Amino acid sequence: MNNLSMLKIVFIMLSVLMLASAGNSNADKQPNIETESFWIVLPPEVARHTAGYGIIKNTGEASDTLLKITSNAGAVMLHKTEIQSGKARMTHIPNIVIEAHSELVLKPMSFHLMFSDLSPVIFIDGSKATLFLEFEQSGIIKINILIRPNW
């Protein structure tokens, strides 16, 4: 075998190795979803809606999409409050991408959980509700969150 064909073989082998490792590193990239400081506002007895706040963090190497939220406290949706011509308006956000190394902060006048059809059994000061966050990659994440007055 001459030097040139030897070089060709080495080159081909290197290319195959590089492709294989590139494939591997992609497959290793996973999102890692964590939740922090979640709570639900205890509404006045007459209220039919209430809000929930907290932080969803993605500390992983790939993005993930929040597809669905459910709770034993009632019906729940992700909302976003925005100021449009001087008025606060809420928009329903059906799903949202959380990029790698980023977080979604749910806070007043911004993203929030919007609860309706409130369960009277759950909505007692100091009780806890269960929240299921369904992600495209990470699957369903269950968290227990405190219900407390915001005063």
Stretch that binds Cu ion, among 64-72, 96-104, 113-121, 133-141 (CB under 5 A): 113-121
Measured CA to CA, the distance from residue 48 to residue 50 in angstroms comes to 7
Question: Among 33, 29, 31, 49, which Cα is nearest to 41's?
Answer: 49
Q: How far is the CB of 137 from Cu ion (least distance, A)?
A: 26
Question: Among 77, 69, 115, which Cα is nearest to 93's?
Answer: 77
- Sign of the Cα torsion 32, 96, 56, 115 reads negative
Q: How far is the CB of 92 from Cu ion (least distance, A)?
A: 8
Q: Is 79 in the site for Cu ion (CB under 5 A)?
A: yes
Q: Are 37 and 52 in contact (CB under 8 A)?
A: no
Q: Which parts of 18-47 interact with Cu ion (CB under 5 A)?
A: none
56, 73, 114, 118: residue in contact with Cu ion (rule CB under 5 A): 114
Q: Is 131 in the site for Cu ion (CB under 5 A)?
A: no
Q: Are 72 and 131 in contact (CB under 8 A)?
A: no
Residue nearest to Cu ion (CB): 79
17, 90, 109, 124: residue in contact with Cu ion (rule CB under 5 A): 90
Residue with tokens 């073989």: 9
Q: Is 113 in the site for Cu ion (CB under 5 A)?
A: no
Stretch that binds Cu ion, among 28-36, 52-60, 63-71, 111-119 (CB under 5 A): 111-119
Q: Which is nearer to Cu ion, 60 or 104 (CB)?
A: 104
Measured CA to CA, the distance from residue 118 to residue 88 in angstroms comes to 23
Number of residues that bind Cu ion (CB under 5 A): 3
Binding site for Cu ion (CB under 5 A): 79, 90, 114
